[in-house]
Structure 1
Amino acid sequence: MLSLSVLDQSVAVSGRTEDASIRETLTLARHCEALGYHRFWVSEHHSHPSIVGSAPEVLMAAIAATTQRIRVGSAGVMLPHYAALKVAEQFRVLEALAPGRIDLGVGRAPGSDMRTARLLRADPHQSAENFPVQVRELQAWVSGVDLPEGHPGHGVTANPMGPTTPELWMLGSSDYGAQLAAHYGLPYAFAYFITDGQGADEALALYRRLYRPSLRHPEPQAVICVWALAADTEAEAWHHFSGRERWKIDRNKGALGPLLSPAEVALRPYSAAEQLEAGKLRQAALVGSGPQVAAKLRALADTLKVEELVVITWTHDPVARRRSYELLAREFV
């Protein structure tokens, strides 16, 4: 049976302040738990005009405190910015607050421009080249396994300890993350929505072929994070998709900003080149009525041989976004 989860990015929208986007993420988490979704993940971005979720560990604490069942996770923590020990401590605290419900997804991307990335790091010379070592340290500290003798962290523990531990995930949008997840025996989440599907087949096949079983994960476990939008009618779905479509076209020209409403999009007619680009976006988009989107999601899951999809949805109207998750839950949950 195909399982559905949620990824939310706390997207800035025109006409509302950014703090409202954070509160809307909390509302959506409670809503999706009531609908029966399996996980609720939040992302990390910095100094971004469109995506304002900058501290997933803080947001996760609020979500965990106001939900009861749904797994809560990061997708992800951009590990090169931080000391692995501190991340392990943060997530062990989260695990103490919500035992058996915490996912720790990590990635090596900056989640920002490189200038901002340098400012986030206490050591400006720290780089993503150290990422594999950080992952190994984090894996040990999160699970409560001591690092080997000779390592500076030998004998150091990440508190609080408890009977359960966070589930560590590797995030990626290329072969690199797939290979690292396979090497360490970790679950792997491919960012299908970032690459528009490019490279998904290759990365997942590589992950499964190279997978080295671990104690916690004797078999490979892969999911894809995919953008989708459902509404009561196909026409209504395309109406709400217009803001995301305009955002992607603007982004490809280097212009980032809050998500516009359909009414605002209508005031900016497309050029001939933009019309061609919009047509390509619509061909690939998972947009439509609940049954239409569900059929596309099932076909995608079958093609990529995954048993769980993590769905991300942007709409200017939060009610339309909640409705999209409702319609998909009817089809799957």
Structure 2
Amino acid sequence: MKLSVLDQSVAMAGRGQDASIRQTLALAQAAERLGYARFWVSEHHAHPSIVGTAPEILMAAIATQTQRIRIGSAGVMLPHYASLKVAEQFRVLDALAPGRIDLGVGRAPGSDGKTAQLLNPDRYASENFPQQVMELQAWVKGQPLPVGHPGHGVFAYPQSATSPDIWMLGSSDYGAQLAAHLGLPYAFAWFITDGQGAEQALHMYRETFRPSASLDKPKATLCVWALAADTDEQAWHLFKSRARWRMDRNLGRIGPMLPPDQAERDYSPAEQMALDALKANALVGSAATVSNKLRALADRLALDELVVITWTHDPQAQLHSYALLAQEFNLKP
């Protein structure tokens, strides 16, 4: 089974946010050395915890510092932008890293409503998402748009022998249906829904998939949150940072991730129930524990690739987690 990485450039208490961007670049280089198949970066706006706001720029930096690993967005929040501009950006990225670019797109704002309106004043922009994706397909692949379309005769440059692969990202049936209809690969955001709706979305995607010029059969993956350490005890200690962030977020308190030694606080009975449920489903533990859980999940959902997200306050703990999983899955650099 293949493993890939999604990094969100998480802000850490006690360090500048610029350090989080540089850590993403360093992690991408490490992921290539360890044998991961892809390295994806996310897009969020006005978010005090997740400071990766421009995936296309970060991808360009990663492209110049890697040679083999696929590089992608997970994703570009397409309703904020003109499809032509996104196509041009990713055609440039493909010129920097030929045949290594994944263009993951999503419909969600990646921000609050006020910020989304500042990015695009059209409140109904997301209703045009399917049309935007079809335009993006044509421009990315160098295909002409039909006569009568405002973009007929317009092409996205630079053109070359390769082009980015477009992925549909989603956490509901909507993305699964659209990916199937357009014949695109599909990534379900398990880490957002804690797995809820994943089986239904994947089943719908596979059952209704229509082959396209770029993909002849369904291709799906999950983006999951996981954390491995040398022992179960060490992993759960590191997990305290993530747990505190989740509990605070539920109360509307969003900020940088705290170190585990500062992360514990008194939780209300309701919070403790939510925390117990979070821990019960968490992919956390020793390398063997986490790899067994990942394999079981992949087997249950008939997947041959998983995309792993790992948050730790200490960058070295994050890197060690990915190194442990690479060893468990016998990844080849």
TM-score range, shorter chain: over 0.9
2:118 is aligned with 1:119 = yes
Q: CA deviation at 1:126?
A: 4.9
**CA–CA separation in structure 2 for the residues paired with 1:153 and 1:307:** 38
**CA–CA separation in structure 2 for the residues paired with 1:216 and 1:138:** 14
Aligned to 2:90: 91
User: When the two structures are aligned, how many residues end up with a matched partner?
Assistant: 330
**CA–CA separation in structure 1 for the residues paired with 2:112 and 2:250:** 15
Say which SS state the counterpart of residue 133 (structure 2) adopts: helix
Q: List aligned pairs for 1:232-247, cutoff 5 A.
A: 232-247=230-245
**CA–CA separation in structure 1 for the residues paired with 2:186 and 2:277:** 28
**CA–CA separation in structure 2 for the residues paired with 1:198 and 1:97:** 38
Q: CA deviation at 1:324?
A: 0.2
Q: Deviations over 1:33-75 (max 9, x none)?
A: 1000000000000000110000000000000110111000000
Identity of aligned residues (%): 68
Q: Deviations over 1:73-115 (max 9, x none)?
A: 0000000000000000000000000001000000000000010
TM-score, normalised via structure 1 length: 0.98
Q: 1:218 aligns with which of 199, 213, 216?
A: 216
Say which SS state the counterpart of residue 228 (structure 1) adopts: strand
Aligned to 1:329: 326
**CA–CA separation in structure 2 for the residues paired with 1:92 and 1:226:** 28
**CA–CA separation in structure 2 for the residues paired with 1:252 and 1:197:** 18
* Runs of 5+ consecutive residues of structure 2 not aligned to the other structure: none
Say which SS state the counterpart of residue 273 (structure 2) adopts: helix
Aligned to 2:160: 162
After superposition, the CA RMSD in angstroms is 0.8
Aligned to 2:287: 290
Aligned to 1:56: 55
Say which SS state the counterpart of residue 297 (structure 1) adopts: helix
Residues 134 and 178 (structure 1), Cα distance of their counterparts in 2 relative to 1, 3 Å cut = same
Q: CA deviation at 1:249?
A: 1.0
**CA–CA separation in structure 2 for the residues paired with 1:208 and 1:325:** 30
2:123 is aligned with 1:128 = no
Q: CA deviation at 1:264?
A: 1.1
**CA–CA separation in structure 2 for the residues paired with 1:30 and 1:201:** 33
**CA–CA separation in structure 1 for the residues paired with 2:219 and 2:268:** 44
Aligned to 2:43: 44
One-letter code aligned to 1:146 = P
Say which SS state the counterpart of residue 298 (structure 1) adopts: helix
**CA–CA separation in structure 1 for the residues paired with 2:270 and 2:81:** 42
One-letter code aligned to 1:331 = E
Kindly report structure 1 stretches of 4+ aligned residues shifted beyond 4 Å.
none
2:29 is aligned with 1:30 = yes
Aligned to 2:308: 311
Q: CA deviation at 1:255?
A: 1.3
**CA–CA separation in structure 2 for the residues paired with 1:64 and 1:81:** 24
**CA–CA separation in structure 1 for the residues paired with 2:122 and 2:218:** 35
Q: CA deviation at 1:275?
A: 2.3
**CA–CA separation in structure 1 for the residues paired with 2:217 and 2:270:** 46
**CA–CA separation in structure 2 for the residues paired with 1:35 and 1:212:** 35
Aligned to 1:272: 269
Q: CA deviation at 1:215?
A: 1.5
Q: CA deviation at 1:125?
A: 4.6
Q: Deviations over 1:291-322 (max 9, x none)?
A: 11000000000111111000000000100000
One-letter code aligned to 2:238 = H
Q: 1:137 aligns with which of 135, 138, 143?
A: 135
2:78 is aligned with 1:75 = no
Aligned to 1:302: 299
Say which SS state the counterpart of residue 314 (structure 1) adopts: coil
Aligned to 1:248: 246
Say which SS state the counterpart of residue 263 (structure 2) adopts: helix
Aligned to 1:110: 109
Q: CA deviation at 1:147?
A: 0.5
Aligned to 2:4: 5
Say which SS state the counterpart of residue 110 (structure 1) adopts: coil
**CA–CA separation in structure 2 for the residues paired with 1:148 and 1:125:** 27
Aligned to 1:227: 225
Q: CA deviation at 1:149?
A: 0.6
One-letter code aligned to 1:189 = A
- Structure 1 window deviating more from structure 2 (123-132 vs 29-38): it is 123-132
One-letter code aligned to 2:211 = P
